[in-house]
Structure 1
Amino acid sequence: MTVLVLIRRWFFRVLLLLIEPLAGVSAHALELEHHKDRLFAYPKTIEASDGGARRVIDYREMRDINGRDAVPERRAHGQYVDTGVRAAQKDLALRGRVGIVRHFAVGRTEGARVIVIYLHGKGGNRRQGVDDFTFGGNFNRIKNLVVKSGGLYLSPDFSDFSQKGAGEIAALIEHYAKASPAARIVVACGSMGGAVCWALADGKASSRHLAGLMLLGAMWHERFLKSPGFAARIPVFFGHGSRDTVFPVERQEAFFRKIRAAAPGYPVRFVRFETGTHGTPIRMTDWRETINWMLSSR
């Protein structure tokens, strides 16, 4: 065996040792870290259909609000919350062509692996999405999940639920996408905030940044089926309470089925919280399960 052959073998062994850890980091980057998974796991599944894409979850107010909150709907029990994440939280203002977009940023504002944005509904503001104790501690959980994963969580103010508000959020996304060009971006919209989610999917520029849309007690949008977001097969998650009196669950489920019929195999899921009301999906949606599914779908 010549010296040249030995050198080549040594070189390739060293190369493999260098590549293997990097491959592990790459795979790891596509999944959120763990944080209180057992406490925030879905209760029992009552029914599953559509190959598991649609699930009906056993939601009970006495257990999932009264049993989870020290003060019902106001303050979760301590075991559901880890406030150490506040050290990574900043109240910022983005100034640009669309004006000032005030927002909370939690985590890495540059070089983030994943970016999750929460858009509030009517009557809400940027503080809702960073409140550690309301909604059973679920916002505290997403903050911790994202920070542990080397990501960024954003909760912004915006002017309205039409084009102006959508333009502000599109500018926010553009800004942070430039600061973290490798980041996968998921936008979650509560209630009327869903109108902004759909507007982002409608836009050619904004939709190219999206790795997923989460509609939490939000509305349907028939034009989505002709949007750039639909053409790009952006994963869509619907979380909805069966007793939602603002947006009837039957209409949202019908839209879910319309997406599946229009594009077989489209990455779309529907979780129905049986007996849940309008705000239930914000409290009960499993952020980690949903976002990891989205990240693995594209």
Structure 2
Amino acid sequence: MLKRPFLALLVTLMVAQGAAAEGSKGPLKPFKDELFSAQTRIETRDGGDYEVVDYQEMRDINGRDEEPERRVKRAWVDLSPRSAQADETLNLASGPLAVTRVGKGEGAAFTVIFIHGRDGDRRLGSNDWRFGGNFNRLKNLVVKNGGVYYAPTIRRFDANGVRQVADLIAAARSASGGKPVILSCASMGSFLCWGITREAATVRDLKGMLVMGGAPDPDFPKSAFHEAGLPLWFTHGSADKVYKADDQAAIYAQLHAKGYPVRFTLFNTGSHGTPVRMTDWRRVLNWLLTR
């Protein structure tokens, strides 16, 4: 008979291996999966759509970073995408928009857009060394798979900001010849994601959406995005003091109960900024791109 400690370890390993296998399904080829995707799910339900991931500050910040929260260890970073990176100002219908672009400006196989939170700008989403190197991994996943990544500077989190994001989505969709566009938003940037979900014309240009540590939107089921049935993934820290995880999880549960394509990753003990550091970009993008 298996003893309980060994049985618990075996179950943990099987869950982690299952997550890794699932993350391999999709168009994006692996990049440093042994580092970024080596996450242990300590709880799952809803057929795996809801999961609680083991997060430990001492391991996932202090053990991962050379300077905690400022500079990740060199093994986590590959700077080759810098050759395909440029700071640009796009002339859109809503006015000039400063962006960092990484990857193909024309003919990209897919587009990923990241919207920062309050007091951020394009530098946040293009920093190779902060957030445990997670944006560097995103850059590598995009460039190595023929895509393009945009990190814009958004000054206002209102209708004007929504208009800027909508114009960026339209421009990216046009430049790629109609290829998939994924929108991701963190923290207060989620206000813009939710605003975009009401824009029917823009929703037609989207493939899916990721919300990291964002504000809940109880009216999302009334949106054009919801009507279109586009996939949505939430990632959140359980100890988030800005936007409560339970509020976001309640919306997930409401959507999932009705069969909506939605997933929720909760980082156990994680704070408001944990999803930006810990979200497994390859796994999320592969799911959004293949729904």
TM-score, normalized by length of structure 2? 0.90
- 1:272 is displaced (CA, Å) by 0.3
Alignment match, 1:120: 116
Which residue of 78, 83, 89 maps to 1:82? 78
Give runs of aligned pairs for residues 135-154 of structure 1, distance below 5 A: 135-154=131-150
Alignment match, 1:240: 236
- 1:182 is displaced (CA, Å) by 3.3
Which residue of 265, 268, 275 maps to 2:262? 268
Q: Do the aligned residues in 2 keep the contact of 1:42 with 1:57 (CA within 8 Å)?
A: no
Q: Do the aligned residues in 2 keep the contact of 1:112 with 1:182 (CA within 8 Å)?
A: no
Letter in 1 for 2:212: L
Alignment match, 1:296: 290
Question: Where in structure 1 are there 5+ consecutive unaligned residues?
Answer: 1-29
Which residue of 270, 273, 278 maps to 1:284? 278
Letter in 2 for 1:193: G
Q: Distance in 2 between matches of 1:109 and 1:91?
A: 12
Which residue of 17, 40, 46 maps to 1:44? 40
Letter in 2 for 1:284: M
Q: Do the aligned residues in 1 keep the contact of 2:172 with 2:181 (CA within 8 Å)?
A: no
Q: Do the aligned residues in 1 keep the contact of 2:72 with 2:130 (CA within 8 Å)?
A: yes
1:175 has 2:182 as partner:
no
Alignment match, 1:134: 130
Q: Distance in 1 between matches of 2:230 and 2:49?
A: 15
Q: Do the aligned residues in 1 keep the contact of 2:92 with 2:168 (CA within 8 Å)?
A: no
- 1:42 is displaced (CA, Å) by 4.3
Q: Distance in 2 between matches of 1:273 and 1:125?
A: 25
Q: Distance in 2 between matches of 1:108 and 1:33?
A: 17
Q: Distance in 2 between matches of 1:116 and 1:288?
A: 12
- 1:291 is displaced (CA, Å) by 0.6
State which drifts further: 148-157 or 175-184: 175-184
Alignment match, 2:66: 70
Q: Distance in 1 between matches of 2:38 and 2:117?
A: 23
Alignment match, 1:194: 190
Letter in 1 for 2:145: S
For each residue in 1:208-245, what CA deviation from the matched residue of structure 2 results, as whole angstroms up to 9, or x when unmatched?
11111111000111221011100111111100000000
For each residue in 1:48-94, what CA deviation from the matched residue of structure 2 results, as whole angstroms up to 9, or x when unmatched?
01111000011000000000000000000000001111110010111
Q: Distance in 2 between matches of 1:286 and 1:96?
A: 31
Q: Do the aligned residues in 2 keep the contact of 1:42 with 1:284 (CA within 8 Å)?
A: no
Q: Do the aligned residues in 1 keep the contact of 2:209 with 2:233 (CA within 8 Å)?
A: yes
Alignment: residue pair count? 268
For each residue in 1:168-207, what CA deviation from the matched residue of structure 2 results, as whole angstroms up to 9, or x when unmatched?
0111111121111231111110100001111111101111
Alignment match, 2:13: none
Structure 1 runs of 4+ off > 6 angstroms?
A: none
Pairwise CA RMSD: 1.4
TM-score, normalized by length of structure 1? 0.88
Q: Distance in 1 between matches of 2:118 and 2:38?
A: 27
For each residue in 1:2-60, what CA deviation from the matched residue of structure 2 results, as whole angstroms up to 9, or x when unmatched?
xxxxxxxxxxxxxxxxxxxxxxxxxxxx6112210110014211100111100001100
